Every structure is written in C-alpha cells, then in structure tokens.
Chains A and B, each alone.
Chain A
Amino acid sequence: MSLVLISVVVLLCLLFLSVPVASTIAGVGMLVGYFFSDFPIFESIGEVTWSASTDFLLLSIPFFVLLGEILLHSGIAKNIYFALQKWLSWLPGGLLHANIASSAIFSSISGSSVATAATITTVAMPQSEKYGYKPGLFAGTIAAGGTLGILIPPSINLIVYGFLTNSSIPKLFIAGLVPGILLSLLFMTFILIYSLIKKDSSIVNDKVTWGERLSALKDLVPILILFVLIMGSIYTGFATPTESAAIGVLAALAIVYFNSLLTLDVIKKSIQGTIRTTGMIMFIIVAANFLNFVLVSIGLTDELAYFVEELEISKYTMLFVVTILFIVLGLFIETLSLMVITIPIIAPVMIAIGFDSIWFGIYLIILIEMALITPPVGLNLYVVQGIRNKGNITEVMKGCFPFVLIMLLMAFLLVLFPQITLFLVQYV
C-alpha cells in the first residue's frame, strides 16, 4: 500500500507544479516501474506506445473530433440553435430551453463540451441581452448543457473509458443514451419549474408561426440524419464505431457542401482544431496507457482489488467513497486527465467488487460532467465566461450550481435504478 501512497503523492505534487499532465502520468509510470518491477519495464514503453498509437479504436477519436470541427466551423451549429429557439421559446424559461437542447444535441455530435459551450455562448449571449435574461442562469444553462454531450453518444470520453477498461464501445454508447436524454429533460424540467415559481417575465414574446417552425426543421434534419447514420451503422452491425465515425465525417462534409458552406477555410480550421485536440488527448492517453501497463504488470491492480475485497465494506460504501473522491478531485483536475489517472486504478477495483463495467462507466461520466462545471477548475465555466466577456465568473458558477445538484440526483437515480443504463444494453 505504501507504493500506492507514494505514487499518489508524487502524482499530485507534479500535477500541482503545473507539469503537463501527460508527462506527469508517464513520470509516475516510470517511477513505479523502476522501483517495483522485476523486469526492465522501460524497454517496453516503445512497444506499448506503438500498439496504443496504432489502435484502430482510438482512431475514432480524431474522426469524431473532425466531424465536430467541420460542423462547428461551417456554422451549422448556429443554425441548430436558432431552429431550436423557434421550437422551444414558448415554454416558461424560453431561451434557456433552447440553450440546453442545442448544447445537448450539438455536443453529442461534436463530442466536445468545450467547443459546444464556446459555440452556443457566441450565438446565444446576444439573445440573452435582447430579451433580458438573468445573465448568471443563462450562462449556467450553456455551461451545464455543454456537458451533456459526453454522456450522449457518440462520446469521446466513453471511448476513452472503453479503451482503458476494455469495455464494449457499442454497449457504452447505448447505455449513455437514456441517462443523457433523461438528464437533459431534468435540466429542462428544473428551468420550467423555476421560471413558473419566479414568474420570470423573460419569456420570448416573439410570435413564431408554425410555418417558421416547420421551415426551421431543415436545420435540424441534417444533424438528426448524422446521428441516425452513426448510431444506426453501429447497431445494425454495419460498421464498427471507428468506421461509423469515418462515415460520419463524410456525411458531415456532404451536409456542409449541400448547404454551400464548404470552403477551404472551413477545412483548414477543422484540420487545425482536430490535430490540436487529437494531439492533446492522445498524448495523455499514450501516457495513461503506459501507466496502466505498468500497474497491471506489477500486479498492483489485482492487489488493490483484493485489498478492497478483504476490507469487507459493502460495495455501496465503496461507491460512496469513490464518488466523494471524484467530486473532490474534479474540483481541481481537468476532466480528461482525471479520467485517465483514475480509471486504470479505480475501475478494476469497482468491477471486482461487483459493479457492472458498463454501468460504472456511465456513472463515472456523470461525475466527470459535474467536474466540468465545478469551480475552481471547471473548463466550461471559463469557456463561457471567456466568451461572454462581461460580468463576473461567480455569476456563471452560481448559475451552474442547480445543475450540479441535478447531476448528483441523476447519479443517485442510477444507483437506485441501474436499469436506466442497462435496460438497452441487453439488446446489443
């Protein structure tokens, strides 16, 4: 156990010294490997890295990022927002619903909650001023809505979880679908009730005719087609997740082309964005994969699992401890890093004491979503604040707070009713 403690201390020290996360993880891997392995573990870093960096599953990550970037830079995302505004603004809470729904839809397709938060903020913020919304809650809905995408498939975070725990991606995707939609609905229900109680006058009074609504559908149809194409090709057995991502990229290109939005500039920006994100994510994954390899080869993961089993605490106590751990770490550590650092150690233990690996993946993702909007380190908070560029960030934090509570409620619901995730999995 001293080994675990030393590693954790070193890990945290390096992280808070602002050493890049990938280097930190690899550093810990090397340290542990050097002191506790019977064979020269460094020499395998080359082979391990080569096999991870040519893994066909991981290729789906740049593909999904590319897909999102193409939609983002071509302006399709903006159209989604305005279309949803026409459909949802009559509800009490008005535009807040459009914020949640468009963030959920766009972030699920683009796989990036940061890009989503950025895009929707750019489009939505001017609307907020025009109709006189409370800036805090308005920004909060965007930041919180942007997190939904990592739960609703296709999701890069789920791919990372699947890769690190060897779980089936199609199963994870289908398991995330219902909780993702449910969480979006819970968000919207909250807004509805809140607006009714507060008698918020900031309802958009512009009369939208059914004609306008129907014509707005043409902006929603492409994204729907894309979603059906990706999910459909996976679940009909037509394609693997990576292949469906490739098809998705082609379809996105076609959609952008037929909307006469395809320019060289769009392609260039998409490539830049994709390579940037891919490089960032993959460097961390390569490092985490090495750490994972070290931990497994020295038998630490097994040892830890036995250790926890012998403690004979109930599995729900353990879940509670893990949940608190994630909430606390999530306050300070960026989400992808948090995932790759903790999953190799925690997931095997949780699976060993009797949790379903798919269920735990979804549960974890909800905690990760929470980490995206909890201060002091909550990426979405800063993205939204950075773009709205006025007021104070504490407004955004306050605006997000109710949604953090709703996420906790959702996590609790998952524990009570695991069927929410596992119901659809049995059909895959």
Chain B
Amino acid sequence: MVKKLKKNSEYFIYLCGILLFSSVLLISAEVVLRKFFLFSFGAADELSGYVLGIIISWSLTYVLFEKMHIRIDVIYEKISHKSKKLFDVIAMFFTFCFSLLLTYFSFDVVYTSIIKNSTANTPLGTPLWIPQLIWWLGFAFFSVVVCILLVMSIRTFFSNKSNDYTSVSKEQS
C-alpha cells in the first residue's frame, strides 16, 4: 500500500509541475500585456497564489517519500541501530502532530469560507473555498501518509527488520 501511495505522490507532483508552468505563462503574459498594451487580466497574482498553496500542500508527501524533509543527523549518525529506530518513531510522531494540527485547523479555513460564502477581494471574486479545499486535501493526504508511516516505524521498532521509509537517508539498510 505504501508503494502505491508513493507512486501516487509522484503523479501529483507532475500535476503541480503543470500548474507551476501555467502560472509562469500567466504571469509573463500579464507583465507583457501590462507594460506594452496597458491591459491586465487582474487575476494572475491571485491565481498564482493559489497555485503556490496547492503546490506546497501536495508536494509534502512526495518530499516525505524522497526524504527531503530536513533532519539534523549529527547525533543520529553516531547511535546504534536500535536507537535510530527509536529516533525515527519520535520524528514521525512529531511530524504527525504537526500535520494533524495543520489539517485540522486549515479545514477551519475552508469551512469558514463555505459558511460565509467568502469570495476573494479581487476582480475575479473567486469563491475562496475552491482553492482552499484543494489546498486542504493536500494536507489531509499528507496526514494520512504520515500516520501510516508512524505506525510502520513503531512496528519496525519492535521487530528486527528495518524499513526504508522512515529512516533519515535512503541508503540506510
């Protein structure tokens, strides 16, 4: 299952990439039009802002699998195999706490927007819940994956095996 989630997180980043390139095009077009034709969509900033939010929340899982969430390993490198597994559990636990809080309270943001029917204070007047919901789903996905990895790291701690998902670096056996 974890493998499948990992694969999925890779698909998401290509979607993020497409979004990113789109906002590059949109912003560049906006700059040129504004300067030479005194014309503006008036939405490039706004939409690109949403793109950034979505990229951030949806990239977290991929970054987790790629082990790019920075961990300071000065001590980690010098301790026994068993202690390393304990450190992994601790690291996963704190990441889980953060992701859970983030998911919980960012849902508040979405929920408030839905209830109040908030729209962006821009010419486009985007109903805010749309980008916010996509943004929130990224955090939710991240929390689910972190939760699974937390369980995995605990299991690993009590077994003799090791797992490649929760340790600090990729080469760790």
Which A residues form the contact surface with B (CB < 8 A)? 14-24, 26-27, 30, 42-47, 49-50, 53-56, 58-59, 62-63, 66, 233, 238-239, 242-243, 246-247, 249-250, 267-268, 270-272, 274-280, 282-284, 286-287, 332-334, 336-337, 376-377
**Do residues B62 and A280 form an inter-chain contact, with CB atoms below 8 A?**
no
**Do residues A276 and B59 form an inter-chain contact, with CB atoms below 8 A?**
yes
Q: A53-B56, A242-B48 are in contact. List 16 more A-B contacts (CB 8 A).
A: A26-B101, A44-B105, A46-B102, A46-B107, A46-B108, A50-B106, A50-B135, A53-B52, A55-B52, A270-B17, A275-B13, A276-B62, A276-B66, A279-B68, A284-B70, A336-B70
**Does B140 make an interface contact (CB < 8 A)?**
no
The answer for the CA separation of A277 and B23 in the assembled complex, in Å, is: 18
B47 to chain A, nearest CB (A): 10
- Identify 20 residue pairs between A and B in the complex whose beta-carbon atoms are under 8 Å apart, listed by A's number: A17-B90, A20-B71, A20-B94, A22-B98, A23-B91, A53-B57, A55-B52, A62-B20, A66-B24, A246-B27, A246-B28, A247-B31, A249-B24, A250-B25, A271-B17, A276-B66, A279-B55, A279-B59, A279-B68, A332-B72
- Number of cross-chain contacts by CB at 8 Å: 185
**Do residues A334 and B72 form an inter-chain contact, with CB atoms below 8 A?**
yes
**Do residues B105 and A20 form an inter-chain contact, with CB atoms below 8 A?**
no
**Do residues A247 and B28 form an inter-chain contact, with CB atoms below 8 A?**
yes
A285 to chain B, nearest CB (A): 9
Most buried by B among A18, A59, A238, A271: A18
**Does B63 make an interface contact (CB < 8 A)?**
yes
B60 to chain A, nearest CB (A): 6
B21 to chain A, nearest CB (A): 8
Closest A residue by C-beta to B30? A243
**Do residues B23 and A246 form an inter-chain contact, with CB atoms below 8 A?**
yes
Main secondary structure of the interface of B (DSSP, over half): helix
Closest A residue by C-beta to B61? A279
Closest B residue by C-beta to A242? B27
The answer for the CA separation of A238 and B94 in the assembled complex, in Å, is: 44
**Do residues B52 and A54 form an inter-chain contact, with CB atoms below 8 A?**
yes
**Does B141 make an interface contact (CB < 8 A)?**
no
**Do residues B97 and A23 form an inter-chain contact, with CB atoms below 8 A?**
yes
B123 to chain A, nearest CB (A): 16
**Do residues B14 and A271 form an inter-chain contact, with CB atoms below 8 A?**
yes
Given contacts A49-B106, A287-B98, contact A16 B72 (CB under 8 A): yes
Contact partners of A21 in chain B: CB under 8 A: 69-72
B34 to chain A, nearest CB (A): 9
Closest A residue by C-beta to B51? A59
Given contacts A23-B91, A46-B105, A274-B20, contact A279 B73 (CB under 8 A): no
**Do residues B28 and A23 form an inter-chain contact, with CB atoms below 8 A?**
no
Contact partners of A332 in chain B: CB under 8 A: 72, 74
Given contacts A278-B55, A287-B98, contact A20 B20 (CB under 8 A): no
The answer for the CA separation of A19 and B94 in the assembled complex, in Å, is: 7
The answer for the CA separation of A268 and B23 in the assembled complex, in Å, is: 17
B10 to chain A, nearest CB (A): 8
The answer for the CA separation of A54 and B122 in the assembled complex, in Å, is: 14
Please provide the 5 A-B residue pairs with the shortest distance between their CB atoms, ordered closest to farther: A279-B59, A271-B17, A54-B49, A279-B63, A46-B105
Most buried by A among B70, B91, B97, B101: B70
**Do residues B75 and A16 form an inter-chain contact, with CB atoms below 8 A?**
yes
**Do residues A15 and B52 form an inter-chain contact, with CB atoms below 8 A?**
no
**Do residues A56 and B48 form an inter-chain contact, with CB atoms below 8 A?**
yes
Which of B23, B59, B106 sits near A59, CB closer than 8 Å? B23
**Does B95 make an interface contact (CB < 8 A)?**
yes
A53 to chain B, nearest CB (A): 4
The answer for the CA separation of A230 and B109 in the assembled complex, in Å, is: 36
**Do residues B49 and A45 form an inter-chain contact, with CB atoms below 8 A?**
no
Which of A62, A272, A376 sits near B74, CB closer than 8 Å? A376
**Do residues A280 and B27 form an inter-chain contact, with CB atoms below 8 A?**
no
**Do residues B53 and A53 form an inter-chain contact, with CB atoms below 8 A?**
yes
Which of B17, B50, B59, B91 sits near A17, CB closer than 8 Å? B91
B93 to chain A, nearest CB (A): 8
The answer for the CA separation of A198 and B151 in the assembled complex, in Å, is: 59
A67 to chain B, nearest CB (A): 9
A55 to chain B, nearest CB (A): 7
